Amino acid sequence: MSESIFGIHAAALELRSQRMGLIASNIANAGTPGYKARDIDFAAALKAHMGGANTDGAASTATRYRVPVMPSLDGNTVEMATEQTAFAENAVGYSATLSFIRGRIDTLSRAMKGD
C-alpha cells in the first residue's frame, strides 16, 4: 500500500532514519576506547532494497566500518568532523524525502477533495 503511494520514498525515509540512529551511536561513543564507528552506505542500501531486500536487511548489508583519517591510540575510530557532516547530510536527505512524501500526500488529498 505505502509502497504504491510513496514509491521509493517510504524505504528511503526508513533507511535515513536507521542511518541517523547509527551516526548518533557513533557520536555517543566518541569517548569509548576501541569503538569502531559504523555507517550505512545509503546508495548501496537503497539498491539492495530495490533488489527485493526489506529495509532492515538492506540496511545491515550496507553497513560499513568507517575508515578513520587518523587512527587514534585507543582504537576509537570516531572523528567528530566526519560524524557531524554525515549527520547533517543525512538530516538534509531525511528532510528532502519528507517533503517528497508530503507532496505526494498533498496531491492525493487534493484529488480526493476535488478543489
Compute and round to an integer the Cα radius of gyration of the chain.
17
By residue count, the chain amounts to: 115
Based on the shown chain and the rule CB under 8 A, indicate whether residue 25 belongs to the binding site for another protein: yes
The residue within the footprint of another protein, chosen from 41, 68, 87, 96 (CB under 8 A), is 87
8 alpha carbon, distance to own chain's centre: 13
Residues 45-84 that bind another protein (CB under 8 A): 59-60, 63, 80, 83-84
Q: How far is the CB of 23 from another protein (least distance, A)?
A: 7
Nearest in space to 66 (alpha carbons), one of 21, 109, 26, 108:
26
Which span sits near another protein by CB under 8 A: 3-11, 44-52, 64-72, 102-110? 102-110
